[in-house]
Amino acid sequence: MGELPKLWPHVLLATLLVTGVMGSAAAYALFGPTAPAYPVVEATLPERPLPPAADTLMADSANALPDLLADTVAPGANPTETLVGGTTPAPSRAPSPAPDASPASSSPALRPAPIAGLHTQSTFGRIPKIASDGRTAFREYARPHRPGDAPTVSLVIGGLGIDAATTRRAIEDLPPEVTLGFAAHAPNLQSDIDLARQFGHEVLLELPMEGATSDPGEPGFARMIRTGDETQALRNLDFLLSRAAGYFAVTPYNGDIFLGRADASAPILSRLQSSGLGFLSDPQLDVPTLAASAKAVSLPYRSGTMLIDETPDMELIARDLEALRALALTDTPTSDAPIGFGFAFPQTLDALATWIPTLSRAELVPASAAMK
């Protein structure tokens, strides 16, 4: 039998091979891969603009996502709750009004117009109507007033909406108890009425009507309510009423010819009544039959007591205002509380700014209160 081969050289070779493999693995684990023998070249990337500073998907749009980590998140709060699909928590307090939209006194602003249920659609747009539950513009758009024991006096300042500066001054400077009248053809009628109500003033709408002094060249003449065509008169009325919302009553501009004709004015007065409005006439309007015509159709009606600025002079206006106060103080339970009418002359506004703070023993109330 031949000699067996020696095994130890093979064992030694295997041992060295295993040791080498294990050593390489340990070195890789400790020091990472061995640097390559070839040189490394760093690549230079082209410069690109940074994204918008806002942390958002759409930084330049109104739909930008908020920075949810901009403030401390309370325990248990979900900062994504107000995003799409979540619910918006109610504010802890009402937002403060803009500085130039605060009412002229502490009295609250009147409700924004239109009020639901008080309007219907006409050929020309929205016009007042009596609500199905009986509510009327005469009640809902009037300034609320709680009767007291003191004698009352009311003031109406008309001709507003034509001159922007004068209109703004009357709205902001006069107390909210003063009733304001706006021309139906005023260019910014709805926004003016909205601002007046925001400052607490109730509003009258001035309707151009045929009168002895009517001028074809005056603003609003094309839609003047006139005699001769009842259908057109009613169409013109609907057009004028559709110009805005928020007035509790109307007042005529001129109108002695039209209102003096009971046959012509009856359909207009009836339409005003069915619209839920009141009618307050200028004290210069000399139509003895108007009160009876309004009563015949159950239209809330009053005539103004006197003009306070027939002559736009400060001293004369002050004298007229004292006469109005005297009427209020001599008021009896069977007589109507006086209503003074004025125009938005600068002198009238100046005189009222001086006189109203001195009013004593009589209460200034909105004209609607004197009509009730």
Position 125 scores a pLDDT of 96
Position 33 scores a pLDDT of 52
β-strands 363-364, 179-183: how paired?
Answer: unpaired
Q: Facing residues of 340 across strands?
A: 155, 306
Per the CB < 8 A criterion, the answer to whether 159 and 343 are in contact is yes
DSSP code string of 5-32: PP-HHHHHHHHHHHHHHHHHHHHHHHH-
pLDDT lower than 50: segments of the chain: 1-2, 4, 11-12, 18, 21, 25-27, 29-30, 34-43, 45, 48, 50-105
Position 283 scores a pLDDT of 95
Position 218 scores a pLDDT of 86
Q: At what angle are helices 346-355 and 164-173 packed, to 10 degrees?
A: 10
**CATH, domain range 111-371:** 3.20.20.370
Q: Which two tokens stand for residue 2?
A: 């031949």
Position 332 scores a pLDDT of 62
Position 252 scores a pLDDT of 97
Position 182 scores a pLDDT of 98
Position 22 scores a pLDDT of 57
